[in-house]
Structure 1
Amino acid sequence: MTVDGADRRLRRARQLTLASLATNLWTSLLLPAIGLAREPDPVQLALGAAGVVAFAAAQTAVLYSAVTPWLAERRRRRFQAVLAVVAVLTVPLVGPVAAGTWPTWAWLGASLVGMFPLLLRPVTAAAATVGVLAVSVVVAGWAGVAVRDSLLITGGVGVAVAGVTWLQVWFWDLLVEARQGQAARARLAAAEERLRFARDVHDLLGHDLTVIALKAELAARLAPVDVGRAGREAAEVQRLAGSALHRVREAVHGYRAVDLAEQLTAVGEVLRSCGVRCTVAQPDGEVPPPVAAELAAVLREAGTNVLRHSRAGWCRIEITRENGMVTMTVSNDGAVDGGPDEHSGGLRGLADRLAAAGGAVHARREDSVFTLVASVPVAA
């Protein structure tokens, strides 16, 4: 992919979101653990501990699926179903724990209410919250703890946790949508470039192929009646075909005239679409077509390096013309170890190509700033 830097930032944001959501676990592990510590019956203690651990595990799986957009929907629903089953089982397993001394299940109920923004629509979540409160009242009466305390814990703490959870998930969804928008813009820029090239090839070949088809048809008709003229037409077809082939090769290899300003604009748009602040300083005056073709190749390699081999936050592209040389400088921050240098394969290929035109390419790294400088003589 050409957006590795942006993906790394998204992965870091995902890890932070997951860690933040995991704070939900304190209501399903730490506080119920107080009730487990107060339970004198070893059998009930074991059953309660199993219920708490199973609930925490199912809750962790749902939290993980909530911030993993590439997870299959079937697996996501499976995690949610497991959480629902475990939540029901915790009522007989955890409800009697520390009966009369600590509202153990009420904390699990609060944690469950805090999960509803991940699982349900607002109206359904409100209805489910009322249901959990009703269960908390029943468990409180069964376990001999204060109903008011259970309602305050399940309702008050649960709604507070739900609000925090909703805010975290909302921010995460915004990040994912922004990333998807960046990827779509990058794909659109690449598609536009392919369409531009396709139009160029069509313009090159459309007329030539039409003439070739007509002359080939004419030669076929003349062959039985005028062999000499048919031969001349066939020779003309051969000449036109060779000319068309030559022009296509020039287009493919970048030797035909290149609009360097257009290339600069396209690369700048791709970088910006991937979250890199890009500044482009256009050259003063027109760059000769042969020089533009060489610098366009360097520009494409430099743009690829910024996206693949750095965590760039900014990039500056500048082209200057002085003393018979046209120089392009591409600088970006976020250079990482193992990135390109003047010995890397892509830059070696560029150095060989520019050397054939009398130019040169150099790369340097200062702290986290990577700079690529390419120079081509105007007479290239």
Structure 2
Amino acid sequence: MSIRSGQAPFPVVRMVVLTVLLTNVVWAVALPLRLTRPPSAVGWVVLVLLAAASGVALALVLRAAVTPATSPATCGRLVAAQTVAALALWPVTFAWAEPGREPWAWVAASVIGAAPLVLRWPAAGLVAVGMLAAVAAGAGVWGQPVARNLVLTLVAAAALMLMGQVVVWLLRLLVAADAARATEAELAVSQERLRLAQEMHDLLGQRLGVIGLKAELAGELVEAAPARCRAETTEIQRLAGETLRDVRTAVHGLGTVDLDVQLRTARLVLASAGVEPVVNVEPLALPPAASQLVAAVVREAVTNVLRHSEARHVWIDLTAAGGSVRLAVVNDEPRSAPGRAGIGLAGLAERCAQVGAVLRYGPAGDRFEVRVELPAT
């Protein structure tokens, strides 16, 4: 299968892989020309044009195999075009083949070997069956050995398929590794934003609240102060209150992370770390506040798995039942300790309690569980 996710990193590596694959175009075009004997100059022109069309179609299929943005529909059309170009060569190569040679077997092999690079195996299998049937039919019609044509086709196709799968697989690994690094960086940035938000709320918010209280007390104690003093005191109260509201608004903005994005990030990060994620999420229409809270619990639970355990499996289940939403994040290694006070699971438990949700976490036999239950509305 071709690469599908993201933009291809390492453009030099991608070009090297494509160059290796394009070497197959040489023999897919040159051998049919070498092993065919047209009866006239016009026949040579026809043969060269058809062989060139077949080679171009093969090159486009191989290019799609290393191009992430190529859609499955486009890949299907490219393979169909290559198949049509190959079938156009079918009568002339069989009819004009040199004695004891099988030129069209190489053309059919190029189609069979390239198809699995861009199509799923069932579809590629159908292409292979069709091309092998054409090989057998051509050999039978023009009096060539059927078995020899089929064997040569299968051997050449297997060689192209094996080489293509290996180099494309290596490129796919590089793309997956790059995507995992980007996801881990995104998770680290999200964690840092939440840490700063929590610290801002705990420190700056509390201090501004104290400032407002002290200013209010000062206004009550100053009985004989001039009017300007009282006006300044009132201004201090107003500024402190506005600043506190602004800080809380900023903290809320820093803490908003979409649940769907967080689930995709968790799946990618766990997989890249060698942990098998099993995600079962019912389609729920959660309010923004509930979605952000569930996303925060998923993020913290996954972070703890990566930092504090050697888990091999993580189960993430999000369900709705009995008027409540329930999230469970369970891993198969019980040493997933909570994070630091104030920004870990303990801090999330306090945050959940403020909105009527209940967060529980801890070892459960040979597993570590993080569970939260919150009202559906």
For the superposition of Structure 1 and Structure 2, which TM-score range results when normalised by the shorter chain?
Answer: 0.5 to 0.7
- The 1:243/1:128 distance shift into structure 2, 3 A limit, reads closer
Tell me the equivalent position of 2:336: none
Report the equivalent of 1:52: 51
Structure 2: gaps of 5 or more residues = 1-6, 220-224, 248-271, 273-377
Judged with a 3 Å threshold, the aligned counterparts in structure 2 of structure 1 residues 215 and 155 are, in CA distance, closer, same or farther, namely: same
Provide the C-alpha distance between the structure 1 equivalents of 2:243 and 2:58, rounded to a whole number of angstroms. Answer: 69
The answer to whether the Cα contact below 8 Å between 1:116 and 1:125 also exists between their aligned partners in 2 is yes
The residue aligned with 1:32 is 32
Aligned residue number for residue 142 of structure 2: 143
How many angstroms does 1:57 deviate by? Answer: 0.4
Residue-by-residue CA offset, 1:287-328 (whole Å, 9 max, x unaligned) = xxxxxxxxxxxxxxxxxxxxxxxxxxxxxxxxxxxxxxxxxx
Structure 2 SS opposite 1:40: coil
Q: 1:34 to 1:239 in 2, by over 3 A?
A: closer
For the residue of structure 2 that corresponds to 1:102, the secondary structure is coil
Judge conservation of contact 1:39–1:45 (CA < 8 Å) in 2. yes
Equivalent position of 2:222 in the other structure: none
1:125-179, CA deviations, whole angstroms, 9 ceiling, x for partnerless residues?
Answer: 3443233222111112333333233112111221232222222222222121111
Cα distance between partner residues in 1 of 2:60 and 2:217: 73
Relative to structure 1, the CA distance from residue 47 to residue 205 in structure 2 (aligned partners, 3 Å threshold; closer, same or farther) is: same
Instruction: Determine whether 1:154 maps to 2:150.
Output: no
Q: Which residue of 1 aligns with 2:168?
A: 169
Q: Aligned to 2:12, what secondary structure does the other structure show? A: helix
Match of 2:131 in 1: 132
5 Å-filtered alignment, 1:209-224, equals 210=209
Partners of 1:45 and 1:97 within 8 A in 2: no
Supply the AA of the counterpart residue of 1:23.
Answer: T
Q: How big is the shift at 1:108? A: 0.2
Identity %: 32
Tell me the distance in 2 between the aligned counterparts of 1:234 and 1:70.
Answer: 61
Alignment size in residue pairs: 236
Supply the distance in 1 between the matched residues of 2:122 and 2:207 (Cα, whole angstroms). Answer: 66
Quick one: distance in 2 between partners of 1:238 and 1:114?
75
Name the aligned partner's letter for residue 21 of structure 1.
L
Does the aligned pair in 1 maintain the 2:139–2:149 contact within 8 Å?
Answer: yes
In 2, Cα distance between the equivalents of 1:183 and 1:231? 53
What value does the CA root-mean-square deviation take over the aligned residues?
3.9
Deviations 1:6-51 (A, max 9, x none): x997222212211221232233112112024x32333332222222
The question of whether the paired residues in 1 share the 8 Å contact of 2:212 and 2:241 is answered with: no
Which residue matches 1:68? 67
| Counterparts of 2:75 and 2:121, CA distance in 1 | 19
* CA displacement, residues 66-124 of structure 1 (integer Å, 9 cap, x when unaligned): 11113455544443332233233332454433364532211101111211321333344
Whether the 8 Å CA contact 1:114–1:158 is kept in 2: the answer is yes
Aligned pairs for 1:1-380 (under 5 A) are: 10-36=10-36, 38-73=37-72, 75-98=74-97, 100-208=99-207, 210=209, 231=231, 233-237=233-237, 240=240
For normalisation by structure 2, the TM-score amounts to: 0.52
Cα distance in structure 1, aligned partners of 2:71 and 2:189: 28
Cα pair distance change 1:43/1:219, threshold 3 Å: farther
- Distance in 2, Cα, partners of 1:117 & 1:76: 11
Preserved contact between residue 51 and residue 93 of structure 1 (Cα < 8 Å) = no
Aligned mates of 1:51, 1:217 — CA distance in 2: 90
Shift of 1:56: 0.8
Distance 1:215 1:92 in 2: 96
